[in-house]
């Protein structure tokens, strides 16, 4: 009999240990996420092309941040994995069309930053693994369009911005030169660009910010698994801050058309399979000691809190952050077993974001969580 893939082994362990549980919620959860659905998702997933490279960067990140001399924050070795942006669901293997999930990545990017007088994760002494959708908002430059833009710049000693177009083929055309010129002549953007370049490059160079991109649901879940297993050594000092908007439905790889779907044959009927909720696998198997925070997004406020409570109980999250689409930048409700706290943006302060008081509260509750293990 051929050996199981690593994914199957992990999932089999998870399922066998879960079958032993007698809680009603867990039993319901297993009915909703049958073994074959979880397994077939991973078995039919196209393997990551750059898995070895990602594992290498994760190893370097972990080594750097677990050794006392390597942690440049000067505080305890705490780490947070922030997921950010929406996952796509391709409709064709050679993908022309895809279904997308709403998320600009602003929440995740802003929560990462290092800004004086406000509390974000880097500022609070955490090292950050930033798992983000390609092209979504980036830490330090949430007002700029895309990450590769940053990589074209460096700040010279005289604080002027130098542009290296050759290092990035995406910008080696006239339109891009025009775009870059547009940013550089605009004084406001020039300042934003300078800060973004310096702080982002510094955080990456110091090894306290590791940025890993995804596009599809297949990439997202596989990389999340690699990250969670890599961060196990941090035990309770690790947080999973799952702000990404993750697809609930997908086309299994084996059922997917290879080439562009033709319109000549008339209207398109697609049957989408359900993406198994991976929160339970993450919580119970991949990173059982970590502090887990998931988000609940709804457009109907009447069901928001009920759904957040359900996620808390069902997936045994330590915290669920409930937000409503239209007010998500103004306030969120933090739901834990003990409390429900409404966190609001400080509207008296220009440029204040809700992520600052939110991260402050998260850091506080995480500290309490860690203390339980010290006792
Ligand atoms: O990026 P912005 O524009 O700033 O917006 C931020 C946000 C609104 C996207 C963010 O605050 C947010 O709410 N993110 C979660 C959105 C979401 O996917 O909600 P959900 O109700 O579909 O899923 C709830 C949780 O289950 C999520 O933490 C998700 O990671 C997880 N999930 C979802 C589907 C799935 N198949 N498996 C999962 O584990």
Alpha-carbon distances, residue 169 vs 132, 204, 245 (angstroms): 21, 22, 30
Q: Give the model's pLDDT for residue 133.
A: 96
Using the predicted structure, report yes or no on whether residue 179 has a pLDDT greater than 90: no
Q: Residues 263-280: pLDDT tens digits?
A: 888 899 989 999 988 898
Using the predicted structure, report yes or no on whether residue 29 has a pLDDT greater than 50: no
Residue 85 to residue 223: CA distance in whole angstroms:
14
* CA proximity to 292, closest of 226, 243, 346, 351: 243
Using the predicted structure, report yes or no on whether residue 11 has a pLDDT greater than 60: no
CB 251, CB 104: distance < 8 Å: no
Burial of 126 (0-12, 13-18, 19+ CB in 10 A): buried
Please list every protein residue whose CB sits less than 6 Å from any atom of ligand 1.
Answer: 103-107, 242-246, 248, 275, 277-279, 294-297, 323, 328
Q: Is 131 helix (H, G, I), strand (E, B) or coil?
A: strand
Distance 321 CA to ligand 1 centre (A): 10
Closest-lying ligand 1 atom to the alpha carbon of residue 105: 1
* CA proximity to 42, closest of 70, 9, 74: 9
Question: Could you tell me which CATH number the domain at 44-139+210-374 has?
Answer: 3.40.50.10300
Residue 327 pLDDT level (bands cut at 50, 70, 90): very high
Residue 351 pLDDT level (bands cut at 50, 70, 90): confident
What six digits make up the tokens of 203? Answer: 């955080």
- Of all protein residues, whose CA lies closest to atom 10 belonging to ligand 1? 243
Q: Within a 10 A sphere around the Cβ of 202, how many other Cβ atoms? A: 14
Distance 87 CA to ligand 1 centre (A): 10
The region, left, alpha or beta by phi > 0 then psi within -120 to 50, assigned to residue 346 is beta
CB 207, CB 72: distance < 8 Å: yes
Comparing 71 with 318, the larger pLDDT belongs to: 318
- Of all protein residues, whose CA lies closest to atom 33 belonging to ligand 1? 246
Residue 196 to residue 112: CA distance in whole angstroms:
13
Listed by start position, the domains of the chain span 44-139+210-374
- For 31-45, 98-112, 285-299, 310-324, which range has the lowest pLDDT when averaged over its residues? 31-45
Say which DSSP state 209 is in. E
Distance 11 CA to ligand 1 centre (A): 22
Q: HSE-up of 293 (CA within 13 Å, CB side)? A: 26
Distance, CA of 184 to chain centre: 30
Say which DSSP state 284 is in. I
* CA proximity to 324, closest of 346, 357, 296: 296
C-alpha Rg value of the chain to the nearest Å = 21
Substitution site in 133, 143, 295 for ligand 1 pocket (most atoms within 8 Å of beta carbon): 295
Residue 170 pLDDT level (bands cut at 50, 70, 90): very low
How big, in percent rounded to 5, are the helix, strand and coil portions of the chain?
45, 20, 35
Residue 75 to residue 97: CA distance in whole angstroms:
46
ipTM above 0.90, yes or no: yes
Residue 178 pLDDT level (bands cut at 50, 70, 90): low
Q: Give the model's pLDDT for residue 143.
A: 56
Distance 28 CA to ligand 1 centre (A): 21
Residue 70 pLDDT level (bands cut at 50, 70, 90): very low
Q: According to the per-residue pLDDT averaged within each range, which of 37-46, 155-164, 253-262, 289-298 is highest?
A: 289-298
**What share of the chain in percent tops pLDDT 90?**
59
Distance 189 CA to ligand 1 centre (A): 30
Q: Residues 280-305: pLDDT tens digits?
A: 899 999 999 999 999 999 999 999 99
Mean pLDDT of the 143-160 span: 61
Using the predicted structure, report yes or no on whether residue 25 has a pLDDT greater than 80: no
Residue 80 pLDDT level (bands cut at 50, 70, 90): very high
Substitution site in 135, 246, 332 for ligand 1 pocket (most atoms within 8 Å of beta carbon): 246
Q: Is 113 helix (H, G, I), strand (E, B) or coil?
A: coil
Using the predicted structure, report yes or no on whether residue 31 has a pLDDT greater than 90: no
Q: Give the model's pLDDT for residue 16.
A: 52
Q: Is 26 helix (H, G, I), strand (E, B) or coil?
A: helix
Residue 43 pLDDT level (bands cut at 50, 70, 90): confident
Closest-lying ligand 1 atom to the alpha carbon of residue 248: 36
Closest-lying ligand 1 atom to the alpha carbon of residue 110: 4
* CA proximity to 212, closest of 197, 228, 199: 228
- The three-point CA angle 205-207-213 to 5° equals 90
Using the predicted structure, report yes or no on whether residue 65 has a pLDDT greater than 70: yes
């Amino acid at each position: 009999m051929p050996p199981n893939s690593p994914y199957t082994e992990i999932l089999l362990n998870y399922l066998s240990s879960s079958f032993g549980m007698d809680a009603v919620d867990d039993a319901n959860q297993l009915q909703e996420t049958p073994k074959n659905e979880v397994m077939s998702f991973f078995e039919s997933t196209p393997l990551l092309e750059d898995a070895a490279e990602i594992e290498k960067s994760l190893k370097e990140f972990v080594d750097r941040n677990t050794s006392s001399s390597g942690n440049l924050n000067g505080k305890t070795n705490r780490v947070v994995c922030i997921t950010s942006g929406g996952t796509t669901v391709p409709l064709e293997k050679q993908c022309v069309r895809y279904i997308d999930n709403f998320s600009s990545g602003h929440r995740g990017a802003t929560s990462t930053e290092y800004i004086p007088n406000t509390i974000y994760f880097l500022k609070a002494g955490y090292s950050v693994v930033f798992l983000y959708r390609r092209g979504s908002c980036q830490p330090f430059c949430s007002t700029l369009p895309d990450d590769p833009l940053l990589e074209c710049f460096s700040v010279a000693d005289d604080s002027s911005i130098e542009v290296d177009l050759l290092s990035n083929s995406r910008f080696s055309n006239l339109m891009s030169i025009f775009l870059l010129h547009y940013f550089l002549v605009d004084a406001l953007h020039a300042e934003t660009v300078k800060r973004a370049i310096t702080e982002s490059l510094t955080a990456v160079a110091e090894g306290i910010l590791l940025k890993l991109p995804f596009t599809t649901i297949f990439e997202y879940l596989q990389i999340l698994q690699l990250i969670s297993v890599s961060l196990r050594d941090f035990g309770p000092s690790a947080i999973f801050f799952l702000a990404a908007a993750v697809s609930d439905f997908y086309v299994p790889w084996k059922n997917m058309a290879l080439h562009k779907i033709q319109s000549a044959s008339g209207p398109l009927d697609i049957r989408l399979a359900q993406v198994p909720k991976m929160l339970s696998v993450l919580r119970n198997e991949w990173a059982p000691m970590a502090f887990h925070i998931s988000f609940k997004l709804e457009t109907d406020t009447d069901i928001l809190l009920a759904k957040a409570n359900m996620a808390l109980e069902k997936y045994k999250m330590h915290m669920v952050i409930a937000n409503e689409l239209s007010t998500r930048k103004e306030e969120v409700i933090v739901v834990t077993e003990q409390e429900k706290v409404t966190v609001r943006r400080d509207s008296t302060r220009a440029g204040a974001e809700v992520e600052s008081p939110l991260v402050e509260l998260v850091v506080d509750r995480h500290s309490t969580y860690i203390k339980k293990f010290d006792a």
